[in-house]
Amino acid sequence: MKSSPDSELHGCLLQLNSPARLWLIRDGAPEGVDLVAEWKSGDPDWRQVLEDLAVVLTFQVHLRLDDENRIVHAVDHLIEWRQDAEGQWIECHDTGDLQLFWSGNSNCMHHLITTDDIKIPIQQCVADAGWTYRAGYQYSPRR
């Protein structure tokens, strides 16, 4: 599976980033993929909204771009910290094609946050570029 960070689709996906969005797309090299889309949990403008809605986990979409076949392989990753029976914190993971949502109020505004907030714009960008979006596809990370 060949991928190039210089591909037109790679650039189009990065252009989805916006201060008005609760999520961002960044380089995925640390995870062994091309790109990662995730909540802006480190952004002070959005952190309070996530905290008010009790979003206490990390949600990411790992993207691998297969230039040769014009396919984007996407795997959702959910990371949550839980306490075990002895009170030790353990990191729990789930992967696949996940659908999650949160609803609540923050700063006198009602918010509905779903994983589709991240996925749908990416899927539309992929389709507009004439590529195929394949969700839940498992692959070996690049090293």
Give the pTM.
0.72
> Rounded to the nearest 5 degrees, what angle is found at the Cα of 28, between the Cα atoms of 25 and 30?
135
What is the pLDDT confidence band of residue 9, given thresholds at 50, 70 and 90?
A: very high
Q: What is the average pLDDT score of the chain?
A: 76
**Three-state DSSP class for residue 49:** helix
- Which residue is associated with the tokens 């993971």? 93
